Each structure stands twice: as C-alpha cells, then as structure tokens.
C-alpha cells in the first residue's frame, strides 16, 4: 500500500535530529509527501528536500502568519522556485485566529499568490482559519484555481462550498478526534475524487498520538479512519487519495 501525505513540514526544526532516518523510513513504508513552504527560507528548504528525495515533492509560498513579509523581492524568489523544482504554490490563505500578520497584508499576499498560481498554471495549497467567509470571497473574486483546502475542518455546508469551487480538501489527524463528529459527517458527503489525506506534521497528530510530534508515517491512521467512514477498504482509499494528489500536482513521486 502506498500513501501520499499531501501536507507536511519536514524542513521544520522538530526533525533536526532524525530527518534522514524519517525520510528513509517513509521510503521503506512507501509514504510520499508534499513538503509545504511557510515562508521563503522554508520554501527553499522544501525544494532542497524534494531534490534529494524522489518521494518528496515541494510547494513554495508564504503562510498568512508571514504575510507581512510578502514583498516583490520575496515573490521574485518564489517565482524562481516555482519555475524550477516546486510543484505547487503555498501554503497561502487567511488566518484570523492568530492574526500574526495584519489582515490587510494577509489579503494582499493571498491574492498575489493566487495570481501567481494562475500565471504559472500551478495548484495552490490553501490555509484557512477563522476566516471562512472572507476566504471564500477572495477565492470567488480571484477566479478559478486548482487546489486543496488543507486541514479542512468545516461542516457539510462548507464541504459543499469547497466542492463547488472546484477545490479538493485535505483531511488530517483531527478526523480521528472524538469531538469531531461534524467533520466526519462532512467528509461522508464529498466526492471521493476530491479528498486528499495529510498530516500537517509536525502538527495535528491523530488521536492516539495527541500531544506528540506528528510525522507523515501517521497518515496511515487518517486513511484507516476515512476508509471506515466511506465504507471502502483502506487499500482502496489509499490508492484513490494517491491518485487524487498526483493528478492535482501533475506529478507522481517514486520510492
Ligand atoms: Zn501547514
């Protein structure tokens, strides 16, 4: 069974002591990952990881937390990465929960990256927290893009809006949290071809690992839960989510 974790941050310092071992264990267990940049340095690190590992792909972008640092200079460097090894723009979006960048700056950086994705014909990795209506407004206003709403956590109505926008949704560890009945209900209603699985490692570990560091190997637990909800074998769900991720990103990792 091969698995595709569509959202991980393996360049983060949480992996400084065992990154190489983890990457080789991923290869042994046939777990591929999209490593997602959060700012310019981590976007560069994503590309380095991707160049050194055939089972890792890279996304390059600026997270809403860092939106205040999105300058023309940063954008020019992102474009270089996106014309090279990177396969997607992101993560980008709006985060009004932590508000680490002013909201106006978040909006500007988000719109700029959506335009970049369209200009370069690349998919986008979208982040949204506590900004759902504003997030949808920007997406509708900027016009159609291919992409995934990462760490989707909404209800069935929100899931429908994602599908109507032509977007995919990334489902991660929170699907396994006892209190998340609403999310489990939502993912039952989504066409299977719109579902990706992810970890958001080192964050959002599945229930049995809560409080611990997450890693892409644990995407297996998300697949198990999702397969049970959709009443199909885990092997089948793994293969469907693998194909969905590869089709969206336009490239297939190898082991
Ligand atoms: Zn992330």
Residues 37-78 pLDDT 10s: 999 999 999 999 999 999 999 999 999 999 999 999 999 999
pLDDT, position 52: 98
CATH number at residue 213: 3.20.20.140
C-beta of residue 147 within 8 angstroms of C-beta of residue 167: yes
Instruction: Give me the pLDDT at residue 159, please.
Output: 98
Q: Output the CA 238–ligand 1 centroid distance in Å.
A: 21
Determine the distance separating the centroid of ligand 1 and the alpha carbon of 230, expressed in angstroms.
25
What pLDDT band is residue 253 in, cutting at 50, 70 and 90? very high
195 located within any domain: yes
Confidence at residue 82, expressed as pLDDT on a 0 to 100 scale: 98
pLDDT, average across residues 145-151: 97
Between the CA of 4 and the centroid of ligand 1 the distance, in Å, is 15
Residue 90 lies in a domain: yes
In the block, residue with structure tokens 């370069």: 120
pTM for this entry: 0.97
State how far the Cα of 63 lies from the Cα of 76, in Å rounded to an integer.
16
225 lies in a domain?
yes
| pLDDT at residue 143, rounded to an integer | 93
Residue 254 lies in a domain: no
Q: Which domain holds residue 186?
A: 3-249
Distance CA 33, CA 7 (A): 7
* Residue 213: band (very low, low, confident or very high) from pLDDT cuts 50, 70, 90: very high
Helices 219-230 and 181-188: crossing angle in degrees, nearest 10, is 60
H/E/C letters for each residue in the chain?
A: CCEEEEEECCCCHHHCCCHHHHHHHHHHCCEEEEEECCCHHHHHHHHHHHHHCCCEEEEECCCHHHHHHCCHHHHHHHHHHHHCCCCEEEEEEEECCCCCCCHHHHHHHHHHHHHHHHHHCCCEEEEEECCHHHHHHHHHHHCCCCEEECCCCCCHHHHHHHHHCCCEEEECHHHHCCCCHHHHHHHHCCCHHHEEECCCECCCCCHHHCCCCCCHHHHHHHHHHHHHHHCCCHHHHHHHHHHHHHHHHCCCCCC
In a domain, 104, yes or no: yes
Q: Give distance in angstroms: CA of 91 to centre of ligand 1.
A: 7
What is residue 136's predicted lDDT score, i.e. its pLDDT?
Answer: 98
What integer pLDDT is reported at residue 125 of this predicted model? 98
* pLDDT tens track for 157-210: 999 999 999 999 999 999 999 999 999 999 999 999 999 999 999 999 999 999
Q: Examine residue 255 and state whether it is found in any structural domain, yes or no.
A: no
Name the residue among 84, 80, 89 with its Cα closest to residue 38: 89
pLDDT score at 6? 98
Distance 175 CA to ligand 1 centre (A): 16
Model confidence over 83-92: pLDDT tens digits? Answer: 999 999 999 9
Between the CA of 136 and the centroid of ligand 1 the distance, in Å, is: 19
Query: What value does the mean pLDDT of the chain take?
Result: 97
Mean pLDDT of 118-136: 98
| C-alpha 182 – ligand 1 centre gap (Å) | 22
Alpha-carbon 26 to chain mean position: 18
C-alpha of residue 235 to centroid of ligand 1, in Å: 26
Ligand 1 mean position, distance from CA 128 (Å): 10
Q: What is the pLDDT of residue 151?
A: 97
Residue 200 near residue 245 (C-beta atoms within 8 A): no
Distance 204 CA to ligand 1 centre (A): 10
State in Å: Cα 77 to ligand 1 middle.
20
Question: In the chain, how many domains are there?
Answer: 1
């Amino acid at each position: 069974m091969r698995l595709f974790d569509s959202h991980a941050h393996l360049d983060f310092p949480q992996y400084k002591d065992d990154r190489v071992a983890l990457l080789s264990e991923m290869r042994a267990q046939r777990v591929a990952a999209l490593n997602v940049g959060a700012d310019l340095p981590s976007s560069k690190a994503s590309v380095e990881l991707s160049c050194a590992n055939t089972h890792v792909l890279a996304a390059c972008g600026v997270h809403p937390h860092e939106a205040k640092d999105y300058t023309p200079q940063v954008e020019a460097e992102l474009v270089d990465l996106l014309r090279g090894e990177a396969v997607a723009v992101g993560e980008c979006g709006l985060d009004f929960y932590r508000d680490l960048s002013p909201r106006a700056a978040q909006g500007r950086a988000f719109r700029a990256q959506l335009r970049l994705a369209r200009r370069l014909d690349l998919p986008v990795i979208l982040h949204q927290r506590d900004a759902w209506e504003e997030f949808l407004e920007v997406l509708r206003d900027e016009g159609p893009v291919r992409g995934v709403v990462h760490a989707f956590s909404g209800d069935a109505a929100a899931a429908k809006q994602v599908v109507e926008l032509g977007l995919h949704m990334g489902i991660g560890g929170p699907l396994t949290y006892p209190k998340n009945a609403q999310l489990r209900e939502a993912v039952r209603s989504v066409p299977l071809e719109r579902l990706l699985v992810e970890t958001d490692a080192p964050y959002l570990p599945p229930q049995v690992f809560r409080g611990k560091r997450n890693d892409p190997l644990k995407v297996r637990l998300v697949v198990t839960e999702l397969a049970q909800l959709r009443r199909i074998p885990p092997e089948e769900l793994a293969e469907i989510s693998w194909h969905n991720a590869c089709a969206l990103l336009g490239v297939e990792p190898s082991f």
